[in-house]
Amino acid sequence: MDNEPVNTEQQPDPSDTEQTSDPTPPRRRVGLLVLVAVIAYVVDVVTKVVATATLEGEEPVHILGGAVYLQLLRNPYAAFGMDIGGTWILTVVAIAVVIGIVWFARKLRSAGWAVGLGLVLAGALGNLTDRIFRAPATFQGHVVDFISVFAPNGEFFPVFNAADSAITVGAGLIVVLTLLGRDYDGTRIPSRRDRKNDSEPETESAEEKENPEDSA
């Protein structure tokens, strides 16, 4: 009886192919974050300059049929007039936010997160600029607010500025992305159902090992 030649060539392991065929990770989004932050910051600075030049000592100006009132207000408190105690504390918090976002940016690969963090960064920098350079003192300056909605003097909602709006929109976008399972690095956060489905094959294989006669 002739013996057939034995093929000694090692067959590739499918698992190795899967490991080497990983898709290229999304590119970094630092540029998009910087672009959004610069645009939003410029809008905040310009609108504050215009507001202080035209609304100082004037009566509230209503636009959009009274939906928005423009009036100048010097705010020593946090966003939307919230008092958390001490202007210098707000300055420290703003500096910490800016440093945190700058450090976090190197890991950023999601366009949505880049827009959200860019808006938050611009808002923090905008109000921080007021804290540092405006009266009454360095690091204790009052923020310029000038937008009151539906009623003057913040009767319906606290008076705010473009920086406050940027922070609110940016933070809201980040919350939405998180709820949708979109992570900052461009990947999708597995849901509870996905984790459950991934664990089911392992459970079945364990049962087969315990009862090998059933699978024979």
Catalytic residues: 145, 164
User: Strand 61-63 to strand 68-75: parallel, antiparallel, or no bridges (unpaired)?
Assistant: antiparallel
CB-neighbour burial class of residue 143 (10 A; exposed 0-12, middle 13-18, buried 19+):
buried
The span from the CA of 139 to the CA of 128, in Å, is: 8
Phi, psi angle pair for 196, to nearest 5°: -70, -40
DSSP type of residue 186: S
The span from the CA of 214 to the CA of 216, in Å, is: 6
The span from the CA of 14 to the CA of 36, in Å, is: 44
The span from the CA of 72 to the CA of 60, in Å, is: 8
User: Strand 68-75 to strand 143-149: parallel, antiparallel, or no bridges (unpaired)?
Assistant: antiparallel
The span from the CA of 125 to the CA of 40, in Å, is: 10
